[in-house]
Amino acid sequence: MSYEVTATKKRPQNFDSMVGQEFVVSTLKNSIKNGRIAHAYLFSGPRGVGKTTAARILAKALNCEKGPTDNPCGECDNCKAITKGNSLDVIEIDGASNTGVNDVRIIKEEVMFPPSSSSYKIYIIDEVHMLSQSAFNALLKTIEEPPSYVVFIFATTELQKVPATIRSRCQQFNFHLINADVIASQLEKAANDLNVKFEKSALNWIAKEATGSMRDAYTLFDQVVSFSDGNITMSGIKDKLGLTGQDKLNSMVLSILDNKVSNAISDLRELLAFGESIEQIIKDFIEYFRTLLLLSQGITSENILGISPSEFPEKIKTAFTVEQLEAALELLFELYRNIKYSIDPVYEFEFILSRLSHLKYLASNTSIITRLESLKTNIDKMPFTDSKKADIPDKLEPELPHIENQLKIQHQESKKPFEIAKNLFSGVEVEI
């Protein structure tokens, strides 16, 4: 038997096996059950989430010998022909390569002939937004007064490019991105079907990489299966796909935290010497700080994080505030956007590593102002032993170098803390 990719093998053949589009599925099923069959449907949504699959299932539901039914049998000649893609009454057209008015003219002529062996003659037009304006105009007349046996199912990833005149004549369904945990559980079934062992974290990683597309998830899954030798592991994926290992990332961030930038830079050099690309290392860093940000906001679900929280040392998990992590991500996102214009992305990343080592001194203007205000109140309350010299209580002294440090870091963003500091110390001459 020839090799069949998982996306094809696992393509749902009826509404009940479709995942992640519950609203669309239940509405379609109900309208078929109640005999409310529209002459034109418009399925919109991101790629790889099931629009064409739903169109084919709807075609089967309408043309099944036991139909119209919300649960096509999959066994009759009509169902089988649609599954194989050779039904004479279900015509699939790729809007991207049949964009002209002549293509639509052919459809207009064809629709005059009734279906050969089914109840309906169904046109599935994928990427319908690619049709030209004149093609849309020609199509419009057919949709307005179609023969009773004709059903159009349009699919598009770019709803806004479909003219309003067409949209308003269709029953519209919006397909959504599929949740990573739904994708992961489908991958688990696929792995079990193949008798392949797996680490859950590895499947979660694939699900997260697929960013909501079931088709992309299956494609990546097939790639991972092909090199996994019957056992899908996270370390295998990292090895083969050139991802930076979590240990290396932990070690680099610990170095940054201890202000040992030189250690982080030698780790970076090691990764580059090992053949990893600087783009991938920056992406891994973004991923790393994103996970820390989500953890600091109380999110611990492995499905959302894509990694187990236990993979991070306790010291790192508690080292940064939300604000500091946001600042780190800002630096990294900006770096990633700019690398293509850089004279040397590696130099830029070294520079960012150095900046990240100051992260723990970063504070928002608001928190600096609050600290200064409370310092001012405390100084106002202080007993002065001499009109020229303030007696600064011991508890305030450790506070001052810290505030000074924060001011240095913040000074480019706002002058406000400086102004407050100036006011604060203007009336008092203190010896610090």
Stretch that binds Zn ion, among 63-71, 139-147, 248-256, 327-335 (CB under 5 A): 63-71
120/175 with CB nearer Zn ion: 120
With contacts defined by CB under 5 A, name the span among 70-78, 119-127, 200-208, 254-262 that binds Zn ion.
Answer: 70-78
Q: State whether residue 307 is helix, strand or coil.
A: coil
Rg (the chain; Cα; Å): 31
CB of 60 to Zn ion, least distance (A): 6
For Zn ion, give the closer residue by CB, 119 or 291.
119
Rounded least distance, CB 73 to Zn ion, Å: 4
Nearest distance, CB of residue 78 and Zn ion, angstroms = 6
User: Any contact of residue 76 with Zn ion (CB under 5 A)?
Assistant: yes
The amino acid sitting at 138 is A
Distance from the Cα of residue 104 to its chain's centroid: 36
Tokens of 244: 């930076």
Instruction: Please report, as a single letter, which amino acid is at residue 421.
Output: A
Using CB under 5 A as the binding rule, whether residue 73 contacts Zn ion is answered as yes
Q: How many residues bind Zn ion (CB under 5 A)?
A: 5
Residues 78-97: x where in contact with Zn ion by CB under 5 A, - otherwise, as a string: -x------------------
- The nearer residue to Zn ion, 14 or 52, going by C-beta atoms, is 14
For 192, residues 6+ apart whose C-beta sits below 8 A from its C-beta are: none
CA dist 57 and 314 (Å) reads 50
CB atoms within 10 A of CB 103: 18
Using alpha carbons only, give the angle 254, 258, 260 rounded to the nearest 5 degrees.
Answer: 95
Task: Give the shortest CB-76-to-Zn ion separation in angstroms.
Answer: 3
Grouping H, G, I as helix, E, B as strand and the rest as coil, residue 218 is helix
| Footprint of Zn ion on 241-280 (CB under 5 A) | none
264-to-259, 360, 384 alpha-carbon distances in Å: 9, 16, 49
Under the binding rule (CB under 5 A), the answer on residue 32 touching Zn ion is no
Nearest by Cα to 221 from 241, 248, 246: 241
Residue range at the interface with Zn ion (CB under 5 A); choices 75-83, 168-176, 180-188, 203-211: 75-83
Q: Which is nearer to Zn ion, 76 or 293 (CB)?
A: 76
Q: Shortest gap between Cβ of 119 and Zn ion (angstroms)?
A: 11
Residue 76 or 294: which CB sits closer to Zn ion?
76
Contact region for Zn ion (CB under 5 A) — 65-73, 136-144, 336-344, 403-411? 65-73
Among 25, 28, 42, 64, binds Zn ion (CB under 5 A): 64
Q: Tell me whether residue 76 or residue 265 sits nearer to Zn ion (CB atom).
A: 76
The b-or-e profile of 255-265 (16+ CB within 10 A means b, else e) is bbbeeebebbb
The set of residues, in sequence order, having a beta carbon less than 8 Å from that of 53 and lying 6+ positions away, is: 11, 12, 18
Q: Which is nearer to Zn ion, 79 or 363 (CB)?
A: 79
The amino acid at residue 145 is E
Q: Which residues bind Zn ion (CB under 5 A)?
A: 64, 72-73, 76, 79
